[in-house]
Amino acid sequence: MKKTLTGTDVVLLYHRIGRPKLSSLVAGQYVAPWLLKSELNYLAANNWSGVSLADILDRGKASPEKNRFAITFDDAYLSAYEHACPALIDRNMSATIYVVSGAIGGINEWDSRAGDQCESIMNAAQIRELSDAGFEIGSHTITHAHLTDISDEQLQQEVTDSKNAIEDIIGKEVVSFSYPYGNFDERIVAAVKAAGYQNAVSAKLGVAGLSDIFEIPRVNVRWNAFGPLLMRKINRARKASGITH
Ligand SMILES: [Zn+2]
Q: What residue ranges do the domains of the chain occupy?
A: 9-240
Which pLDDT does position 216 carry in this prediction?
Answer: 96
CA end-to-end span of the chain, whole Å?
A: 20
Ligand 1 centroid to Cα of residue 7, in Å, is: 29
Spatial contact of 144 and 103, defined as CB atoms under 8 Å apart: yes
Which pLDDT does position 215 carry in this prediction?
Answer: 96
Which pLDDT does position 61 carry in this prediction?
Answer: 52
pLDDT-based confidence at 169, cuts 50/70/90?
very high
Angle at 127 between CA 152 and CA 140, to 5 degrees: 20
Judged against a pLDDT cut of 80, whether residue 195 lies above it is answered with: yes
Ligand 1 centroid to Cα of residue 170, in Å, is: 20
Strands (DSSP E) found in the chain:
9-14, 16-17, 30-31, 49-51, 68-74, 96-99, 136-139, 176-178, 199-205, 216-220
Name the phi and psi angles at 57, rounded to 5.
-80, -15
Judged against a pLDDT cut of 50, whether residue 3 lies above it is answered with: no
Question: Among the CATH numbers 2.30.30.100, 3.40.50.800, 3.20.20.370, 3.40.50.1000, which is that of 9-240?
Answer: 3.20.20.370
pLDDT-based confidence at 2, cuts 50/70/90?
very low
Ligand 1 centroid to Cα of residue 74, in Å, is: 5
Ligand 1 centroid to Cα of residue 172, in Å, is: 22
Spatial contact of 182 and 13, defined as CB atoms under 8 Å apart: no
Which pLDDT does position 206 carry in this prediction?
Answer: 94
Break the chain down into helix, strand, coil percent, rounded to 5. 40, 20, 40
Name the phi and psi angles at 118, rounded to 5.
-80, 135
Ligand 1 centroid to Cα of residue 5, in Å, is: 33
pLDDT-based confidence at 5, cuts 50/70/90?
low
Specify the pTM.
Answer: 0.94
User: pLDDT by residue (tens digit) across 13-42?
Assistant: 999 998 877 787 887 889 999 999 999 999
Which pLDDT does position 36 carry in this prediction?
Answer: 95
Ligand 1 centroid to Cα of residue 4, in Å, is: 37
pLDDT-based confidence at 62, cuts 50/70/90?
low
Ligand 1 centroid to Cα of residue 164, in Å, is: 19
Residues with CB in 5 Å of ion ligand 1: 74-75
Ligand 1 centroid to Cα of residue 61, in Å, is: 27
